[in-house]
Structure 1
Amino acid sequence: MRNLRLIIQREYLARVRNKTFIIMTFLSPMIFVGMILLIAYLSMLNSTEQKIIAIHDETGMFTSEFKDKEQVQYLDFSDKSLEEARQTVLDNEYFGLIQIAKNTGNSNSPVEVEFYGKETPGFGTVENIEKTISDKLTREQLISKGIDVSQIDKAREHVSLDIQNFSGQRSSKMSNYIKMFFGGAAGYLLMMFIIIYGNMVMRSVIEEKTNRIIEIIVSSVKPFQLLLGKVLGTSLAGVTQFTIWIVLGFFLLVGISSFLGIDPMAAQMPATAAVNDMAKPELQQMMVDILKLPYASLLSFFIIYFIGGYFLYSSIYAAIGAAVDSETDTQQFMFPIIIPLILGIYVGFFSVVENPHGTVSTIFSMIPLTSPIVMLMRIPFGVPWYEILISILLLIATNFGVLWLSAKIYRVGILMYGKKPTYKEIYKWLKY
């Protein structure tokens, strides 16, 4: 045990004393916040760019229906020929030209609509054009049938769906997306931790093996202790870094809450005890939903799944590092390791957001190679305790099995030089 403690201490201190580790520990949260602000700023710049769209309406019905907006300005070119209108748009580098002509074909629509432009218009632009024209045609059809359209317009009612659970707690319309964002962020962060720290373990083994230091170390330490010490030491460094990020994130969350004037404690109370939600802007209700997320359980299970997932994959990384002589030789073994991690991310984003308690989401949250990512994405939506318990027990059991297999590869591979290993040869090492 003393040797194991010394190895863990050595690996831990080697990581946390590294200048890159220290800089990135404090710089990463600021970079992350900076990226969010930069994306928001660029999106704002993109949304303020005004598009000029010309209209060539041969029917004379629709030009007045297109109203100028903050991002779009419409010009009436109906008095020109189509060729003149197209040439004017090209010469002035306008965004595009809408041509509306009477339908002479067999289509049910009375008009034909085409859009000319250098590039394909965005979905919002296309939807606005189609809606404007279809609304006008619908009104004309109603009028032709003797229906008073003004009475229909007066009778229109806007309904805003108010969402709350049976205990009376309200939530915003974006509640599921908020949960998916935080669950997805936790899952993606976990994947990055596994890859980054797993590679650290692998490089450490390769470096010691290349420098022949490993031959001196194994003369006084058992290979299994060395493998376990490297995994534990590096994992503690990862937990330390993550803890610092959590503390910085907490102060950032408190700062945003204070800026928006929201009491974090009010988010934990029933809706009747908090500020009247009907008077709140949607932004404030979304912030309340963010504050109501199960941060304690999400953080606790993140640490559990981080340790479990990291142990699982870092054991494999260490075995690969022991089996090869250089980092270049690891490429043939890396793809099978990355596949489950990528699969977990894709399953999480495409299955969990649609049905967090569906069959696919549940199964992949139980499979040990993908459960650390998928289960973290499910937790914000509420997962039964027994499913989490089964997932963790399967992960722990798989860890013992993989650690045992990796130790057998590690024991043989760290003293093998000059030969590029194959899967067949590694399989033979498991029998030694």
Structure 2
Amino acid sequence: MSLSLIIKREFTAKVRNKSFIVMTFLSPILFVAMGCLIAYLTSLNNNELVKVAIHDHEGYLKKDFKDSDHIKYIDLSAMPVATAKKTASEQYEGLIYVPKVDSLSMLSKKVEYITNESPNLDFVSDIEDVIDDKVTRNNLRNLGFDYNKIEKAKVESQVHLSKFSGEETFKEGSIIKMVIGGLSGYLIMMFVIIYGNMVMRSVIEEKTNRIIEIIISSVKPFKLMMGKIIGTSLAGVLQFIIWAILGISLYLILTGIFNVQVGAATSQPAMAEASQKAMEGIPLYISELGKLPILTIFICFIVYFIGGFFLYSSIYASIGAAVDSETDSQQFLLPIILPLMLGVYVGFFSVISDPHGTVATVFSMIPLTSPIVMLMRIPFGVPLWQVLVSVTLLFATFFGVVWFAAKIYRIGILMYGKKPTYKEIFKWLKY
């Protein structure tokens, strides 16, 4: 049996499977519908008017709290404090209690926000901002300064960025690089986990059904393992493409029907201002996108995807051959998941802050993490020699792992009725 026939068999078996067909077309519908539902419910929640009571008998702050589209302040200062607390607990979201103090500067430690529920942290920050502004103005006035003049004297500087070649850049361009790199690395991690597990389950299923005993009589274990990996990966690519097309199409349709916008929690004025700034920055973003090595990013994505997926899938296949059920495989999956998680964490916490630092560079060379970390680094510009060394190490490790995995696969595929240990698997490598 040739490798192409095995690949065709695996691919056909996957795409004709009822669960594969159902999940291929149902998953994007469920995810997009859930996202739109959450956004819609969030928009409804933000349209609710929240009423907050204020008890400020001396009038220190009550004039500084301004009503907005979502918050209305009710003055209960004329009531006794105990009555105001009882009224607020029954009728309002909470009570801002401003006690009598000897000096306005003491307000920074004396104001209370009383509520029965866990307070909204953004709202608490708004209260603190009002207090800070009031106390600061009072302190400056006591020192003989004019706060309004100080405000007018403040300047917002903007540093122009450029390269030594004279080419201008802008700081928001780093966001584009972070998004592209992060998305590429995250996609590879998800693809490896989802479809690597699919390879493992396929091996376990055939082993459990004893079909493998018939297949192994006419094909070498190595060829069978590679056929499963390639066939499953092709089915996965097809499923991923369908998900992307259906997901984007359904999102556009549902958001048009229900008029739901992501980020509905933002107030209308703020949203309008943000939209205006975004529109003004579009030419800069387009210009920055044009400067990115798009072709290099695409080629590297394909190369690292192939190397990373085949590397991990060979490990998944060997695990599937060594165990009799998915339950038994759990003890062997942690060593696979840890490098992937490590790559993501290093990417988001190290590459973003310092893409050319020692940590980012080292982990972009280590084969188990390089498919994720290197893809996050490439948009920031990586020397060609580092990419070549990283790819060489990745594929050299892949061939080495495949050689070891094939030995485990050859013996484990015919082992039944006993849970393997790491010690036994190590012995299989010697055969």
Distance, in Å, in 2 between the alignment partners of 1:44 and 1:160 is: 35
Task: Choose which of 238, 241, 255 in structure 2 pairs with 1:240.
Answer: 238
Residue deviations 1:104-138 (CA, integer Å, cap 9, x gap)? 79x97675112111233233212211111111111
* Cα separation, partners in 2 of 1:377 and 1:419, compared to 1, 3 Å: same
Alignment match, 1:113? 111
Distance, in Å, in 1 between the alignment partners of 2:250 and 2:181 is: 19
Q: CA deviation at 1:355?
A: 2.7
Whether the 8 Å contact between 1:183 and 1:376 is mirrored in structure 2 is yes
Distance, in Å, in 2 between the alignment partners of 1:294 and 1:82 is: 65
Q: Give the aligned residue type for 1:374.
A: V
Alignment match, 1:275? none
Distance, in Å, in 2 between the alignment partners of 1:284 and 1:44 is: 26
Matched, 1:194 2:192: yes
Alignment match, 1:213? 211
* Cα separation, partners in 2 of 1:110 and 1:215, compared to 1, 3 Å: closer
Distance, in Å, in 2 between the alignment partners of 1:54 and 1:295 is: 55
Matched, 1:223 2:221: yes
Distance, in Å, in 2 between the alignment partners of 1:311 and 1:285 is: 41
Which consecutive unaligned segments of at least 5 residues does structure 2 have? 254-274
Alignment match, 1:338? 337
Residue deviations 1:284-304 (CA, integer Å, cap 9, x gap)? 626863782655444332222
* Cα separation, partners in 2 of 1:122 and 1:298, compared to 1, 3 Å: farther
Alignment match, 1:136? 134
Q: CA deviation at 1:336?
A: 1.8
Distance, in Å, in 2 between the alignment partners of 1:353 and 1:388 is: 18
Task: Choose which of 238, 255, 277 in structure 2 pairs with 1:281.
Answer: 277
Whether the 8 Å contact between 1:171 and 1:285 is mirrored in structure 2 is no
Alignment match, 2:265? none
User: Higher relative CO (CA 8 A, sep ≥ 6), structure 1 or 2?
Assistant: 2
* Cα separation, partners in 2 of 1:86 and 1:386, compared to 1, 3 Å: farther
Q: Give the aligned residue type for 2:324.
A: D
Q: Give the aligned residue type for 2:277.
A: P
Distance, in Å, in 1 between the alignment partners of 2:141 and 2:314 is: 74
User: What TM-score results when the alignment is normalised by the length of structure 1?
Assistant: 0.82
Residue deviations 1:349-400 (CA, integer Å, cap 9, x gap)? 3333333333322222222112222222333333333322222211111101
Which consecutive unaligned segments of at least 5 residues does structure 1 have? 256-278
Quick one: percent identity of the two aligned structures? 57
Q: CA deviation at 1:176?
A: 3.8
Q: Give the aligned residue type for 2:327.
A: T
Equivalent runs, 1:305-316 vs 2, <5 Å: 305-316=304-315
Distance, in Å, in 2 between the alignment partners of 1:138 and 1:245 is: 54
Alignment match, 2:266? none
Alignment match, 2:373? 374
Whether the 8 Å contact between 2:107 and 2:131 is mirrored in structure 1 is no
- Which range is displaced more, 181-190 or 365-374? 181-190
User: What TM-score results when the alignment is normalised by the length of structure 2?
Assistant: 0.82
* Cα separation, partners in 2 of 1:375 and 1:251, compared to 1, 3 Å: farther
- Which range is displaced more, 83-92 or 367-376? 367-376
Q: Please state whether the residue corresponding to 1:184 is helix, strand or coil.
A: helix
Whether the 8 Å contact between 2:94 and 2:114 is mirrored in structure 1 is yes
Matched, 1:64 2:63: yes
* Cα separation, partners in 2 of 1:214 and 1:149, compared to 1, 3 Å: closer
* Cα separation, partners in 2 of 1:403 and 1:215, compared to 1, 3 Å: same
- Which range is displaced more, 185-194 or 59-68? 185-194
Equivalent runs, 1:144-159 vs 2, <5 Å: 144-157=142-155, 159=156
Matched, 1:319 2:315: no
Q: Please state whether the residue corresponding to 2:111 is helix, strand or coil.
A: strand
Alignment match, 2:412? 413
Q: Give the aligned residue type for 1:71.
A: H
Alignment match, 1:122? 120
What RMSD in Å do the two structures reach over aligned CA positions?
3.3
Distance, in Å, in 1 between the alignment partners of 2:125 and 2:378 is: 36
Residue deviations 1:225-275 (CA, integer Å, cap 9, x gap)? 1111111221222333445566778999999xxxxxxxxxxxxxxxxxxxx
Distance, in Å, in 2 between the alignment partners of 1:356 and 1:417 is: 48
Q: Give the aligned residue type for 2:362.
A: I
Alignment match, 2:8? 9
